[in-house]
Amino acid sequence: MLDLYEPGDEAAWLASLHFSVEIKPRYCECDGLGHVSNTVYPEYLEFARLQYFIAAGDPEPGPFAYAHVTAELHLRYTAACYYDEPLRIGSKLTNLSRASATMEQAMIGADGSVRALSRVVIVRSIDGATVPWSAAQRTALERFERRPLTV
C-alpha cells in the first residue's frame, strides 16, 4: 500500500506540497455516471508534474523543462472525482539522485478531501539516454523546494 505520511499527519503532509495546479475534469474523461476514468488520473498527475518543472525554471536547454521519463508510478485511488469538479493537484520532490528524482503528489477535491495519492520516480533522459542532473538544475530544484534534496 502506498503510504506517504504517518496516520494522523495527513494535514502536515498536504501542507508540504507547496506547488499546485488546478484541473477541471472534462466530459470526455468520464464514464456514463460522471466519474473520472481511472485511466485519466495518471494524465492529471503528469500534467501537474510538468507544470511543477516549468515553474521551477530549468536552467538548461532541452525539449521541455527538466526532460525526463517516468520509470515508476504508484497510485492510490481514495475517492472518486467527477465531471466539471474543481480539483487541485499538489506536488513536491522528495528525492533527487544522480539522474533520477522522486515526486509525491495528491489530488484534492474542492472540499479538501484527498481523491488520489501518488509517488512517481522519474529519470532524466535526453534522446533516449539517461543523463545526470546538472549542478545548475540541482540548485534550481532545491531553491524551488526551499530545502536540500537527498543525493
- Identify the three-state secondary structure at position 121: strand
pLDDT of residue 2: 84
Residue 150 domain-assigned (yes or no): no
Question: Structurally, how many domains does the chain consist of?
Answer: 1
Q: With 0-12 CB in 10 A as exposed, 13-18 as middle and 19+ as buried, what is 52?
A: buried
Q: Give the domain extent around 138.
A: 10-145
* Confidence check: pLDDT of 5 > 90: no
Percent of the chain with pLDDT over 70: 99
CA atoms within 13 A on the CB side of 29: 18
Residue 1 domain-assigned (yes or no): no
